[in-house]
């Protein structure tokens, strides 16, 4: 196994069964509904990613399933509007 820096990764984890997990360098993406940014970091070595019982990634490729939901931070309660007299 060669050092992870030669592969452009930040971390390499080896298990006792010879399977490795490699974290790739983080990067910024602008894909939220409002166009806001988020930090994305991908990894190699996973067989599948499962959300709510559905496989969303298999061997690093998206399956098209999107069972999750957007989680937002705390927001103030909406203000009730009073009709003008």
80 belongs to a structural domain: no
* Helix, strand, coil tally for the chain in percent (to 5): 5, 30, 65
pTM above 0.75, yes or no: no
CA distances from 19 to 13, 26, 40, 43, 46 (A): 8, 22, 23, 13, 9
pLDDT for 3 equals 46
Average pLDDT (17-23) is: 74
24 belongs to a structural domain: yes
pLDDT top residue among 66 and 2: 66
The domain in which residue 40 lies consists of 4-62
71 belongs to a structural domain: no
29 belongs to a structural domain: yes
Residue position matching structure tokens 């990764």: 9
15 belongs to a structural domain: yes
73 belongs to a structural domain: no
Considering its fold, how many domains does the chain have in total?
A: 1
Q: 58 with 64: CB under 8 angstroms?
A: no
The model's confidence at residue 10, banded by pLDDT at 50, 70 and 90, is: very low
72 belongs to a structural domain: no
77 belongs to a structural domain: no
Task: Please write the tens of the pLDDT for every residue from 30-78.
Answer: 988 888 999 999 888 888 889 989 999 898 889 999 997 777 777 787 7
């Amino acid at each position: 196994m060669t050092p992870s820096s030669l592969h452009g990764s930040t971390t390499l984890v080896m298990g006792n069964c010879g399977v490795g997990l490699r974290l790739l360098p983080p990067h910024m993406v602008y894909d939220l509904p409002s166009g806001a940014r988020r930090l994305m970091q991908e990894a190699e070595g996973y067989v599948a990613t499962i959300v709510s019982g559905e496989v969303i990634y298999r061997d690093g490729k998206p399956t098209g399933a999107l069972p999750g939901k957007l989680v937002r931070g705390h927001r103030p309660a909406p203000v009730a509007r009073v009709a003008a007299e």
